């Protein structure tokens, strides 16, 4: 797959962005991330190759990322300052812009299914807290308790952040700590054989976030957006900036009203976010199946797969790994 | 004030839109709405005339609308299906796009002050539920109990809607019942002497809404938006559609990328919303102080005031009332 060429169907995913320190990534951990991304690509590709919808493909890919504890969504979500977990998710269908989103949720095994339930089984777009949970129970979504979602590394990260706050030490960003704390999100965008687009995003939010803090993921037009006419987008980054810039919808606007390509619009929006302190990135796909994966920090866990079924995954810049082990030299990161 | 002309400073407000049946509006009630709108205009105008900021003006105007029980925000908010009240609000500063929003909140006398506290006293944009309430308490915002917010007409409206649901009767929209149930929101947009824009929106949501349902009001880019380069917008209507269309930010996009006037962009977006079932309206102001107040239903409680200090208020189409009692024949509703 060459990302800048049209594809009959294609899928792109991300598992968060930030200052990803190479030295902190052991070979084993690095392989774990690549394997997790490949599983998600395979899950979405299977749907698309079978003639399934973009909506089902992004759902399947995000579920796989939620189930993987390495990524900050579903199992392995980060902890709030109070030691609880609050998850947000959104999904949007480019056919008619129908959308569903949840925020401040704990319980459903796959928060993306909660967002989809809002879209398909309520007259609403955004449901929060207990109200969202009620819908999930009525729809019979699989629920899990705290032990399922708990992971030791996330818990340790919370303790370290709380200890830093107690000590009054400044946020040390030399190892990407502050960025990493903010950037955990997973997402998927897809184009199916029928030319339909869809986007899905899911997150545990920021480590040690204030209770009730909601980032850009469940905000339609900020962290998640899809319209068949232009593009599907899923973002990851310093959510507050992405909300203020209406990041995902801004890409739609530049394609629609200024005639920009996906590559140009997505790249510029991410670059501009970087200038104002909004570090992060996003994945985007256009109506012809072209993919853009721009980010303005040192790394973004990401991957893409097209009709040829060869998954490409990457963490840092200019370092793509293909399933067959060869480097795709023709590939250029679009950012 | 002629709304389509530039103004050194100006303010526009709304108190909700919908199918406002003339026969349901007694002369006394009609005068009550106009008086409530005039009080809000006066509160905001006083700030602007004194050289205050657009941000302070929209805050003052929305507080006045929240304090008036006739409007569905703050005191007089509607009830959820469970008989509780959940309020949402957002505010945005066009100078730097800083923004604050709250959702699912009960307690603060003026929810717009809660949104402003999020903007000014947290690193976040959107806080929900208990987390938002914690911030309000820490900031010492005035809090109220249920009796303050209770109004008999809103309670009766809930009972009528619940009875309709129990009986299985279809939603009767002949008297605007369904629309009115969805459309209660208040908002303000302003341009100050320094050319800065701001927007604020506050709502009790929909009568008999599901617990946890969040509409477009607190969604930056949907129900609330401000950027000095283009416009400030506050919307009211069938919130789900406004979220899917990113209504407020879409107006910014058409002005920015397609070179449209405020009047054209705002009018078209509202008309397009009407076509897809998104009944409602919005108020908008551009960098030169021009105002647009389009709506696609039979009425919108609205008003505007410019540097001359003469408030204009209206409920239905082509029916404007000025403080001095004369009709401003030169005025044309922009929708």
- DSSP string across B287-328: TT--EE--BSSSEEEEEEE-TT---EEEEETT-EEETTS---
CB contact under 8 A, A219 and B214: no
Determine the distance from the C-alpha atom of residue A152 to the mean position of all C-alpha atoms in its chain, rounded to a whole number.
22
What pLDDT score does A183 carry? 65
What pLDDT score does A335 carry? 39
CB contact under 8 A, A128 and B126: no
* DSSP states of B13-25: EEEEEE---GGG-
State yes or no: pLDDT of B326 exceeds 50.
no
Query: Which range is least confidently modeled, B171-185, B205-219, B228-242, B285-299?
Result: B171-185
Catalytic residue flag (residue A203): no
Asked if B201 contacts B223 with a C-beta cutoff of 8 angstroms, the reply is: yes
What pLDDT score does A319 carry? 72
What pLDDT score does B290 carry? 97
Tokens 């001359």 belong to B308
Rounded Cα distance between A152 and A285, Å, is 35
State yes or no: pLDDT of A200 exceeds 80.
yes
State yes or no: pLDDT of B207 exceeds 50.
yes
pLDDT confidence bin for A181, thresholds 50/70/90: low
Calculate the alpha carbon distances from A307 to A50, A199, A310 in Å: 11, 18, 8
Domain A10-332 has CATH 3.60.20.30: yes
Asked if B202 contacts B243 with a C-beta cutoff of 8 angstroms, the reply is: no
Cα A160–A163–A165 angle (5° rounding)? Answer: 110
pLDDT digits (tens, 9 = 90+) for A88-139: 999 999 999 999 999 999 999 999 999 999 999 999 999 999 999 999 999 9
Distance from the B28 Cα atom to the nearest Cα atom in chain A, whole angstroms: 35
pLDDT digits (tens, 9 = 90+) for B129-175: 999 999 999 999 999 999 999 999 999 999 999 999 999 887 755 54
Alpha helices for chain B (secondary structure H):
27-49, 54-67, 111-121, 129-138, 146-149, 152-167, 177-183, 239-244, 247-258, 262-275
Distance from the B212 Cα atom to the nearest Cα atom in chain A, whole angstroms: 4
Q: Across residues A173-195, what is the average pLDDT?
A: 76
pLDDT digits (tens, 9 = 90+) for A272-327: 999 999 999 999 999 999 999 999 998 999 999 999 999 999 999 877 776 544 44
Nearest-by-Cβ selection for A221 from B211, B215, B222: B222
State yes or no: pLDDT of A334 exceeds 50.
no
Residues of B noted as catalytic? 185
Strands B213-214 and A126-128: antiparallel
Residue B76: which of B66, B86, B84, B64 has the closest Cα?
B66
Q: Is the dihedral of CA B270, B95, A205, B82 positive or negative?
A: negative
CB contact under 8 A, B130 and A212: yes
What pLDDT score does B210 carry? 87
- CB atoms < 10 A from the CB of B286, how many? 25
Domain ranges of chain B: 10-332
Of A24-28, A74-78, A325-329, where does the model show the most confidence?
Answer: A74-78
Rounded Cα distance between A225 and A240, Å, is 16
At residue A133, the 3 state secondary structure works out as helix
Rg of chain A, C-alpha, whole Å: 18
Q: Across residues A180-198, what is the average pLDDT?
A: 89
- CB atoms < 10 A from the CB of B317, how many? 13
Return all residues near B302 (Cβ < 8 A) that are at least 6 apart: B12, B13, B14, B15, B37, B281, B283, B293, B295, B313, B314, B315
What pLDDT score does A320 carry? 73
């Amino acid at each position: 797959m060459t990302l800048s060429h049209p594809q009959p169907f294609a899928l792109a995913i991300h598992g968060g962005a930030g200052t990803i320190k190479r030295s902190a990534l052991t070979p084993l951990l690095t392989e774990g991330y690549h394997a997790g991304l490949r599983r998600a690509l395979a899950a979405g590709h299977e749907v698309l190759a079978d003639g399934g919808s973009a909506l089902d493909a992004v759902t399947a890919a995000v579920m796989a990322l939620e189930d993987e504890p390495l990524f900050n969504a579903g199992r392995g979500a980060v902890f709030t300052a109070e030691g609880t977990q609050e998850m947000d998710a959104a999904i949007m269908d480019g056919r008619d812009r129908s959308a569903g989103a949840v925020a401040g949720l704990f319980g459903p095994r796959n928060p993306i299914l909660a967002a989809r339930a809002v879209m398909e089984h309520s007259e609403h777009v955004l449901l929060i807290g207990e109200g969202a949970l009620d819908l999930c129970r009525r729809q019979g979504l699989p629920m899990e308790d705290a032990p399922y979602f708990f992971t030791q590394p996330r818990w340790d990260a919370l303790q370290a952040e709380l200890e830093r706050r107690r000590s009054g030490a400044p946020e040390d960003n030399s190892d990407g700590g502050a960025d990493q704390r903010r950037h955990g999100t997973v997402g998927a965008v897809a184009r199916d054989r029928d030319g339909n687009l869809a986007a899905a995003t899911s997150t545990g939010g920021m480590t040690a976030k204030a209770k009730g803090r909601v980032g850009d993921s469940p905000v339609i037009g900020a962290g998640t957006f899809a319209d068949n006419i232009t593009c599907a987008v899923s973002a990851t980054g310093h959510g507050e900036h992405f909300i203020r810039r209406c990041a995902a919808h801004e890409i739609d606007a530049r394609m629609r009203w200024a005639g920009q390509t996906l590559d140009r619009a997505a790249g510029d929006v991410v670059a501009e976010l970087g200038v104002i302190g909004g570090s992060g990135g996003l994945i985007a796909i256009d109506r012809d199946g072209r993919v853009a994966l721009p980010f303005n920090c040192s790394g973004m866990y990401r991957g893409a797969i097209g009709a040829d079924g060869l998954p490409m995954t990457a963490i840092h810049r200019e370092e793509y790994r293909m399933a067959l082990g060869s480097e795709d030299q023709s590939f250029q990161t679009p950012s």
